[in-house]
Structure 1
């Protein structure tokens, strides 16, 4: 089981993940796209990554020209290194 990180640990780690922020006990980022279709395509790639790594976003919200991705490890009761790793992998997809 992954270990829940403290707020300071998360904030320090987020310095290496531009655009990600700690909000309501989870980390999240909104990506911008020039069309709805590009956002949907990105969201599908995020979903496929989640299946491959067996670590799924808490939320994957598709809006026109934007996709919000959020992570928290519910079994640990907060953000864990798994969430930070997933965030970095999602950034690599963008």
Structure 2
């Protein structure tokens, strides 16, 4: 099982993940796109990556022009290395 990281470690790690924030105990970032189809295409990429990694977003919200992605490892009770790694992969997909 992956261990929950303490808040200081998470905040330090976020320095390398621009735009991601620790909000209500989970990692979140909103991505902006020019159109709704671009948002949906990005969300599908995130979903496929999550399946490959066997680590899924807590939330994947599609709105016109925006996609919000959030990660937390419920089984660990907070943010883990898996969440930070997933956030980095999502950034690479954008």
TM-score bin (small chain): over 0.9
Map 1:1-94 → 2, pairs under 5 A: 1-94=1-94
Q: Could you tell me the TM-score, scaled by structure 2's length?
A: 0.99
> Alignment RMSD, CA only?
0.3
* C-alpha distance in structure 2 between counterparts of 1:7 and 1:56, whole Å: 21
- Is there any run of 5+ residues in structure 2 with no aligned partner, and where? none
Q: What are structure 1's unaligned runs of at least 5 residues?
A: none
Q: Moved runs in structure 1, 4+ residues, more than 4 A?
A: none
Give the structure-1-normalised TM-score: 0.99
Distance 1:51 1:69 in 2: 15
Q: In the comparison of the two structures, how many residue pairs are matched?
A: 94
